[in-house]
Amino acid sequence: MSLIVQKFGGTSVGSTERIKNVAKRIARWKAQGHKIVVVPSAMSGETNRLIALAKEISPMPDPRELDVVASTGEQVTIGLLSMALMELGLKAKSYTGAQVKVLTDSAFTKARIERIDENRMRADLEAGYVVVVAGFQGVDAAGNITTLGRGGSDTSAVALAAALKADECQIYTDVDGVYTTDPRIVPEARRLATITFEEMLEMASLGSKVLQIRSVEFAGKYKVKLRVLSSFEDKEGPGTLITYEDDPKMEKAVISGIAFSRDEAKITVMGVPDRPGIAYQILGPIGEANIDVDMIIQNAGVDNMTDFSFTVPRNDYAKTMQVLEKQVKGHIKASDIRGDNKVCKVSLVGVGMRTHAGVAGKMFRTLAEEGINIQMISTSEIKIAVIIDEKYMELAVRALHKVFDLDQPA
Ligand code: ADP
Ligand code: ASP
Ligand code: MG
C-alpha cells in the first residue's frame, strides 16, 4: 500500500462531468488499497475570471484582497470533488489551505510554503478517507489567505507529498507527460519517458508551464518522486518521471527539450558612461521595485560611453520604464531609453550539452537560415537561451526541434 498525492489541473476539473471522471479515477486507485490525497486546481478559466473581476473594480488590486478573491476557485472544486467521491461510496473530506494548514510567508500573490501540518490529513487517511486539499492557497502566520503564484497547485501537491513523505506525487494534466516541447506548438513533439530534475528545472524556469518552477524546486529539495500524467486517458500510461540521477548508461540526446516564453520585455539604456557602478545604478532601483531582471548585456564601450540592455517579465515592463525615467535617466545622464515588449525567449535544454560541443553554433546557424535575428544570448552548462522578435517564436521552435532531431520519427 502506498501513499499517493494526485494533483488535477484546471482542464481536468473543468466541468462537473470531468470532476465525476476524476472521482472515478481516484476510486480505482483507492480500490487498489492506496492512501490518496488529492489536490485539485480551480475549474479551467476560473482563476482568470476571478482576477479579471478584481481588476474591474481596481486596476491595481490590493494584493491581500486579490488573494482572498483568487483563492476561491479551488474552494469550489474541493467541495465538488469530495461530493463526487461520496457519490461513488467513498469517504472523502475537503480542506482549504488554511484548514490544513499550509503555512506560507506573507508575499501575497506569490507566497512561499514554509510548513505544512500533516496531522489532520494523516488521521483522516488512517480512517479511510480520501483527503481533498485545495491547491494554490495557503495562510500566513497572521491568518491571512495567500496564493502561491499562477500554476501554484503543482507546488501545493509536491509540498504535500514532501510533508507526508508520499511514495509518489502524480500531476494529472491535459497532456500525457512532459514533451520535447509544447505539443500545441509542435505537433511532432515527443513525450519523454524521463527527464532529469535539472533539465525540468530549466524547462520550467524558461517557460514550459507544464510544471510550475517552484514545484520542481520543491521536488528536488525533498527528492519527491514526481510524475506527469494525463487525466484524459481511460487508463493512465507511464507519463514522464522526473529523475534525480542521470543514468550514464542511457544513450541521451544532446538536447532534451525546447522551452519558450512570451513573458519577456527588453530594455536598452543608451549612451551611459562606461565606469564602475553603472550596472548598480541602473539595476539597483529596479531590484528595489521588486522586478526580476533576467538577461543582462553591457556592450563594449566607445569613448567611455556604452549601451546597457536587460530583460524583465513583460508584466513588469511599464513599471520598469517608469522607474528608469524617474530614478535613473537623469541621474546617470543616459541619452535614451528604448524598450521592446514584443520579444520572446527560446531556449535549448539538455544535460548532453555538458559533453557535446557545437550546440550553440548549430542553433545560431539554424536561426540565421530562417532569417531570425538574435538580440541577446545567455548560456549555462545545460541551456542556451536567445531573445528574438516574438513574431518568429513558433518558426524558431519548429526549426530547432527539427534540426536537433527531436521530431517524432515519421
Ligand atoms: P494544468 O491546468 O493541468 O495545470 P497547464 O496548462 O498548467 O495544465 O500545463 C499543461 C500545458 O503545458 C499543456 O497543455 C501544454 O500546452 C503546456 N506545455 C508547455 N510545454 C510543455 C512541454 N514541454 N510538455 C508538455 N506540455 C507542455
Ligand atoms: N488555479 C490557479 C491558476 O490558475 C492554480 C493552478 O491552476 O495551478 O493559476
Ligand atoms: Mg498548471
Which three three-digit cell numbers place residue 218? 520543491
Measured from the alpha carbon of residue 152, the closest ligand is 2
Residue 290 has a pLDDT of: 86
Q: What is the 3-state secondary structure (H, E, C) of 232-291?
A: CCCCCCCCEEEECCCCCCCCCCCCCEEEEEEEEEEEEEEEEECCCCHHHHHHHHHHHCCC
Residue whose cell numbers read 501540518: 117
147 CA → ligand 2 middle, Å: 9
Report the nearest-CA residue for atom 5 of ligand 2.
151
- At 251 the pLDDT is 63
Nearest CA to ligand 2 atom 4: 47
Phi-psi map region of 378: left, alpha, beta (phi>0 left; psi -120 to 50 alpha): beta
Closest ligand (CA of 158): 2
Give pLDDT < 50 ranges for the chain: none
CA-CA-CA-CA torsion sign (248, 251, 255, 259): negative
Pick the CATH number of 258-403 from 3.30.2130.10, 3.40.50.1360, 3.40.50.620, 2.40.30.10: 3.30.2130.10
CA distance 169 to 224: 7
Cell of 208: 514550459
pLDDT at 276: 87
Q: Is 151 in the pocket of ligand 1 (CB under 6 A)?
A: yes
348 with 304: CB under 8 angstroms?
Answer: no
pTM to 2 decimals?
0.94
Q: Are 200 and 214 in contact (CB under 8 A)?
A: no
For 276-328, how does the pLDDT look when each residue is reduced to its tens digit (9 = 90+)? 888 999 999 999 998 999 999 987 777 888 899 999 999 899 999 999 998 88
Spell out the residues 6+ positions from residue 195 whose beta carbon is closer than 8 angstroms to its own. 178, 203, 240, 241, 242, 243, 256, 257
Q: Which is the closest atom of ligand 2 to the Cα of 156?
A: 8
Alpha-carbon distance of 229 to 176, in angstroms, equals: 5
CATH class of 3-174: alpha beta
The letter for the amino acid at 89 is: G
Q: Is the Cβ–Cβ distance between 336 and 184 less than 8 Å?
A: no
Does ligand 1 come within 6 angstroms of the Cβ of 182? yes
Residue among 22, 47, 210 whose CB has most ligand 1 atoms within 8 A, to mutate: 210
Q: d(Cα 194, Cα 196) in Å, to the nearest integer?
A: 7
Q: Where are the domains of the chain?
A: 3-174, 258-403
pLDDT at 250: 65
Of 312, 306, 304, 316, the C-alpha closest to 269 is 306
Residue 381 CB contacts under 8 Å (≥ 6 apart), including other chains: 353, 354
Cα separation values, 181 from 73, 178, 321, Å: 29, 8, 32
Residue nearest to ligand 1 atom 11, measured at CA: 210
Q: In what order do the strands lie in the sheet with 35-40?
A: 92-95, 130-133, 35-40, 3-8, 168-173, 226-230, 240-243, 194-196
